[in-house]
Structure 1
């Protein structure tokens, strides 16, 4: 397991402080840890290839749709240009218009906006698009809704959220990685409610983000969720049978205490080493802090003195 290292500077660091040295302090590690599932690189490549086959034709649809949107916007602007010039000429010729003319102009403008609508037929989107959710924020929102639904939260009774079967994460391409650190916890929270179809969390190989964005025809795809009713999902599920299902026993509902103690994956008490810094000469550092506090008190006392006029 790799060690997480934070290289950003401290907000409390001052330029006048004494020289520091690196030290390691023992602190308690959190037992409520959910690790990313371990998946081999070969399996990651196979999953990526299968996902690319499912997304066949999506980039062509996005490209055609964008071209048609630009074409419609261009035609609307071309139609609106001569009418705008004509109105400006009539305004200069006739001077200020009265209220009746203004009303007629408003009705004419509404007719113009209706007339500007160009008849452009968009192609039918691929069937897989209706079963995908892309983006870190969008996938996070869907996972939160599913967790609240399974745990009896307040949801709309008329709308039942569609379940997610697989969450694909371009873990090696996301920087900083803390943007997706919450995904395993949300997946484990959902799976801990013992749903009929648990969510599988699959990491994709490095470079998958760029590949998926090109196939999807959008700028970036860091996280993608596939619904449980997606077409041709069985071919993808057959590849990830060995992927472990993330669960969190301390979040499970209606679990006996004895069963929780037997099946809990909580690690025992563990002391981890925290890398930090400390002044090389502690006596000098304490003296500087004391003199700084004394100077601050004197400055505050000077400000509190009444001004003699």
Structure 2
């Protein structure tokens, strides 16, 4: 027998024995476990294919001679033969595609057990237990819960005291800054602050009913400072002529029309956490990792800061 084949048989037998010992000796072993059985089958197939391919190529290097037609293209004097794809390679290529389709549909369907799936189920069960246990919390206890969540999730950008860390993020101790109001007027806003698609037009769609013309730069500056100052001072006339129709006389918004720009509300904060927000400072991401009660609690905490 050719030494090459003999060494191939020895190597194959050794690898198969080691594979069996490693799986059979592990906790659970095979015992009908589809995952372990598929793992062993894959290991066996890998060993056999590897030995077969290596022996084939070694034999080819020992005995075969180059022939065939060279391609017209060359690279640094190195040509390439116009050979067909090796039959063994083609069979393995298509065989792996067939095996892959079988594996994902019948061998180990995508809806079968997985550690990620188990984690997601455990997380969903924990969240459901959490919401059921704390569903009745209101008032000061809800604010305390919100502070804990804020310190865990929000302080990295908004700071321990929610002051925005020198403009890194919004200062949550007041409802809105003048530059944020100006940005919303000039660029419009569609941040789902009502929990639905209710976009605010940009400056090209904002008329001052007092003048009958589009809002001007001077009027934008005035009303921005007025809103940021808690609906006080100069700019009240611009607000009355341009903003009252949607945000109301007191700036506290109207249901299904516009959000409050005078005060925070738990619902408004919850919508920001659900959808994220883009404004003058930048873009805040949505917080999908918080459950509904945690978002409500953060809303209660932030609302309590600006009172």
Higher relative contact order (CA 8 A, sep 6+): 1
Greater per-residue strand proportion: 1
Normalised TM-score (structure 2): 0.24
Normalised TM-score (structure 1): 0.24
Larger radius of gyration: 2
